[in-house]
Structure 1
Amino acid sequence: MVDADQTFVIVGGGLAGAKAAEALRAEGFTGRVILICDERDHPYARPALSKGYLLGKEERESVFVHEPAWYARNDIELHLGQTVVAIDRAAKSVRYGDDGTVVHYDKLLLATGAEPRRLDIPGTGLAGVHHLRRLAHAERLKGMLTALGRDNGHLVIAGAGWIGLEVAAAAREYGAEVTVVEPAESPLHGVLGPELGNVYAELHREHGVRFHFGARLTEIVGQDGMVLAARTDDGEEHPAHDVLAAIGAAPRTSLAEAAGLEIADRAHGGGIAVDERLRTSDPDIHAAGDVASFPHALFGTRLRVEHWANALNGGPAAARAMLGKEVLYDRVPYFFSDQYDVGMEYSGWAPPGSYDQVVLRGDAGKRQFIAFWLKEGRVLAGMNVNVWDVTGPIQDLIRRGTPVDTEALADPRVPLGELAGRD
């Protein structure tokens, strides 16, 4: 039974942590809620960092989960710019801050997120080498893109994933020259496979982006501390004034590892291993958001999902579980991306090798279509590109888990709701 004498501690001030704090109060928890964040900014959502805010189309204040006064109004003890350095599971306490403050917890939520993977090559200490994960990174990138656009400067991006491509689109809108270096044969290869990745390759080429596939950066060349060029393992050298490392993110598990919590293997994305209630191997500690690896019955495997929707939904689910409520976290993974005049939404999980067929509904050439990834006739994932209000039926098709008529699936005249059993 949860009562007012209990203390719930949340480590991590991103979207998952902030929404968990909100959910605790919404569910009627009257105990102490402590939210510890190692950033000095109030908790914020990350999508705008590579989209609207980076482009200058959204104000800085729009990224925050709550207005600053919300935390005091809801009696959330918010500690900004403070790092948790240790968890003592036996004493049920955490130690944080430069002064080693120790606070007891009855329940603990780890929402420590992920951090950008670093390029392990010479030259990464130069002033023009960037990452994009935090609000401070986005602010620095905005200034850099503005200068590159003004001076016809060159940006080299390592990695053709979602972050790399969204920044490439933003850079072209600012007027910068862009080269993307990617070891795979097409953009977004790990998500869309070769069948759909070329849709994005052509989109970016039309906007002046140059791609260098099948190569990796081996050195960033500089002079007087500034970037001059980027070299690849096939002997090419690309002029560059700045370099963005967009080669993925790694879950921030060091705190959990030091506390002896179970960590998922790399095949399942690493991360803190949790059950379907988002509980770790310690029943009084939960994990949510980018850092959590959870079992998903729908796909028969563990997943670690690094997208906005997982933080948005996972934080509150963990909060409810901490309160002793029945929770089964089985959300269909979802994310979205906006690049130039092309918007998309993706639902499901279908990495290369997991599917045996791709079905298209609509016109991929006009970039107005829905793509479905299937295994033995069952829909594993769907991506709608410049087609809207179809996420519900797409996710219904995924959850249905039974073979569908692929001819009807490809026919825009057949309502998706009918195929999903809605009608």
Structure 2
Amino acid sequence: MVDGHRTFVIVGGGLAGAKAAETLRAEGFTGRVILVGDERDHPYERPPLSKGYLQGKEARESVFVHEPSWYAQADVELHLGQTVVAVDREAKSVRLGDGTVIHYDKLLLATGAEPRRLDIPGTGLAGVHHLRRLAHADRLRQVLAALGRDNGRLVIAGAGWIGLEVAAAARGYGAEVTIIEPEPTPLHQIIGPELGQIFTELHQDHGVRFHFGARLTEITGQDGMVLAVRTDDGEEHPAHHVLAAIGAAPRTALAEAAGLALADRSHGGGIAVDAALRTSDPDIHAAGDVAAAHHPLLGSRLRVEHWANALNGGPAAARSMLGQDVSYDRVPYFFSDQYDLGLEYSGWAPPGSYDQVVLRGDAGKREFIAFWLKDRRVLAGMNVNVWDVTDPVQALIRAGSPVDPDALCDPSVPLESLTG
């Protein structure tokens, strides 16, 4: 039976919020748990939106975190299709868009991120897409299938993870795909230039066209429909649909209006939280894409937008809300699937942070592990079509000890032997 004397409110209907609610109950919290989500769908996971569900290989029902009946069974009160418009820290309450005011004893902000928009003429045309929400994927899945049937053309702005995964899905349907990317390689600001060419060749082998070193300047159309895109180098590319995949921005407006401390842009923006995922208000926590946490292992503030951070961060925040001693120090992790290439990436090594990249395996066959090093210490590792190595890769990152690059490259040397 729920004890109405304590109320924990979760703002955000994604994976972080849903797993936080699950953890509160699993840890024995008997007060009210109220989850507010601005989508009408029950909380769901986002990776299938650009992978299995978008490709038509997974059913829509597979994306949800819990069965819809779970929330009533766990006494989690859902307010779906509702937006929290204000947080009153003094009164310890949130106000919904319909005027409802809900008191909280503890509040979790898991508001996520939103896709960045193209600021160019033509974005109001039918056929211009973003991919962040399940409704976006519902629509885009139909679009890709139609493009495949009609030999249609999709132009993607951005060669990051979402852009590449959608390109792979589109080619699976038979659509013609062109990717416009200002950097010289895909994933340039994520994994650096050393490995970008591998992804260029992967997609070119499957018929994707790249146009590097350029940005979209205009989307042209007729009768409200997309006809082509133009780039800043004077090129024009025919298109029937356009996907903007130029990154995401943390949804911090609610926190900012409430006067909570925010992280600076050099740390990815977001709501500043400590290692226990507490904001500058001790009764308010943040988790998932919106949270910029001080990372005990890496020694800096970090905002991570990937699935594993929501999966693990939501429960960590829930335990912290319950007063447990929490130090959220998970090694950042994400995965991607493109055609017959699968990968897992652990760590954090943006360009400029490392001084060496070494490979173990055969990059030509796309079966290898890449390591990013700084002063011979492993900052990150990415296994490509090589499996069951995440634990030793993360152990190398956690150890922080100097490693012999030659031994790291040698497949005959067990990774487990290198942690010292």
Q: Same fold (TM over 0.5)?
A: yes
In structure 1, the partner of 2:193 is 194
Aligned residues: 419
In structure 2, the partner of 1:275 is 274
Shift, 1:418, TM fit:
1.1
1:199-219 alpha-carbon deviations (Å, 9 max, x no partner): 100000000000000000000
In structure 1, the partner of 2:5 is 5
Q: Residue type of the partner of 1:55?
A: Q
| Greater displacement, 280-289 / 299-308 | 299-308
- Structure 2: distance between partners of 1:300 and 1:287: 19
Q: 5+ unaligned residues in a row in structure 1: which ranges?
A: none
Q: 1:354 to 1:215 in 2, by over 3 A?
A: same
In structure 2, the partner of 1:379 is 378
Give 3-state SS (helix, strand or coil) of 2:87's partner. Answer: strand
- Structure 2: distance between partners of 1:55 and 1:279: 38
In structure 2, the partner of 1:338 is 337
In structure 1, the partner of 2:86 is 86
In structure 2, the partner of 1:113 is 112
- Structure 2: distance between partners of 1:69 and 1:257: 34
Shift, 1:5, TM fit:
1.6
In structure 2, the partner of 1:52 is 52
Q: Residue type of the partner of 1:264?
A: A
Q: Residue type of the partner of 1:25?
A: R
> Where in structure 2 are the equivalents of 1:25-64 lying within 5 Å?
25-64=25-64
Q: Residue type of the partner of 1:21?
A: A
In structure 2, the partner of 1:154 is 153
In structure 1, the partner of 2:387 is 388
1:125-167 alpha-carbon deviations (Å, 9 max, x no partner): 0000000000000010011001100000000000000000000
**Contact residue 275 and residue 294 of structure 2 kept, 8 A:** yes
Q: Residue type of the partner of 2:8?
A: F
> Where in structure 2 are the equivalents of 1:231-242 lying within 5 Å?
231-242=230-241
> Where in structure 2 are the equivalents of 1:113-132 lying within 5 Å?
113-132=112-131
RMSD of aligned alpha carbons: 0.9
> Where in structure 2 are the equivalents of 1:388-407 lying within 5 Å?
388-407=387-406
- Structure 1: distance between partners of 2:142 and 2:126: 13
- Structure 2: distance between partners of 1:228 and 1:279: 48
Q: Is 1:366 paired with 2:365?
A: yes
In structure 2, the partner of 1:347 is 346
1:22-68 alpha-carbon deviations (Å, 9 max, x no partner): 00000000000000000000000000000000001000000000000
**Contact residue 343 and residue 386 of structure 1 kept, 8 A:** yes
Q: Residue type of the partner of 1:192?
A: I
- Structure 2: distance between partners of 1:357 and 1:129: 39
Give 3-state SS (helix, strand or coil) of 1:40's partner. Answer: coil
Q: Is 1:102 paired with 2:101?
A: yes
Give 3-state SS (helix, strand or coil) of 1:5's partner. Answer: strand
- Structure 1: distance between partners of 2:344 and 2:190: 13
In structure 2, the partner of 1:71 is 71
- Structure 2: distance between partners of 1:192 and 1:95: 41
In structure 2, the partner of 1:18 is 18
- Structure 2: distance between partners of 1:298 and 1:315: 19
- Structure 1: distance between partners of 2:233 and 2:217: 9
Q: Residue type of the partner of 1:82?
A: Q
In structure 2, the partner of 1:253 is 252
- Structure 1: distance between partners of 2:395 and 2:33: 36
- Structure 2: distance between partners of 1:299 and 1:204: 33
**Contact residue 153 and residue 175 of structure 2 kept, 8 A:** yes
Shift, 1:4, TM fit:
5.8
Q: Residue type of the partner of 1:38?
A: D
- Structure 2: distance between partners of 1:344 and 1:5: 47
Shift, 1:97, TM fit:
2.9
Shift, 1:327, TM fit:
0.1
In structure 2, the partner of 1:323 is 322
Give 3-state SS (helix, strand or coil) of 1:396's partner. Answer: helix
**Contact residue 161 and residue 247 of structure 1 kept, 8 A:** yes
Q: Residue type of the partner of 1:306?
A: E
Q: Residue type of the partner of 2:56?
A: G
Shift, 1:407, TM fit:
0.7
**Contact residue 4 and residue 29 of structure 1 kept, 8 A:** no
TM-score of the aligned structures, taking structure 2 as reference length: 0.99
Q: 5+ unaligned residues in a row in structure 2: which ranges?
A: none
**Contact residue 85 and residue 95 of structure 1 kept, 8 A:** yes
- Structure 2: distance between partners of 1:83 and 1:192: 36
Q: Residue type of the partner of 1:232?
A: T
Shift, 1:298, TM fit:
2.3
| Greater displacement, 4-13 / 346-355 | 4-13
1:69-118 alpha-carbon deviations (Å, 9 max, x no partner): 000000000110000000000000000032x1001000000000000000
**Contact residue 189 and residue 350 of structure 2 kept, 8 A:** yes
- Structure 1: distance between partners of 2:9 and 2:84: 11
In structure 2, the partner of 1:294 is 293
- Structure 1: distance between partners of 2:7 and 2:157: 44
**Contact residue 51 and residue 166 of structure 1 kept, 8 A:** yes
**Contact residue 394 and residue 420 of structure 1 kept, 8 A:** no
Q: Is 1:229 paired with 2:228?
A: yes
Q: Residue type of the partner of 2:75?
A: D
Q: Residue type of the partner of 1:184?
A: E
Question: Among the aligned pairs, what percent are the same residue?
Answer: 82
**Contact residue 401 and residue 419 of structure 2 kept, 8 A:** no
Shift, 1:299, TM fit:
2.1
**Contact residue 356 and residue 373 of structure 2 kept, 8 A:** yes
Give 3-state SS (helix, strand or coil) of 1:6's partner. Answer: strand
Give 3-state SS (helix, strand or coil) of 1:70's partner. Answer: helix
Q: Residue type of the partner of 2:109?
A: L
> Where in structure 2 are the equivalents of 1:138-149 lying within 5 Å?
138-149=137-148
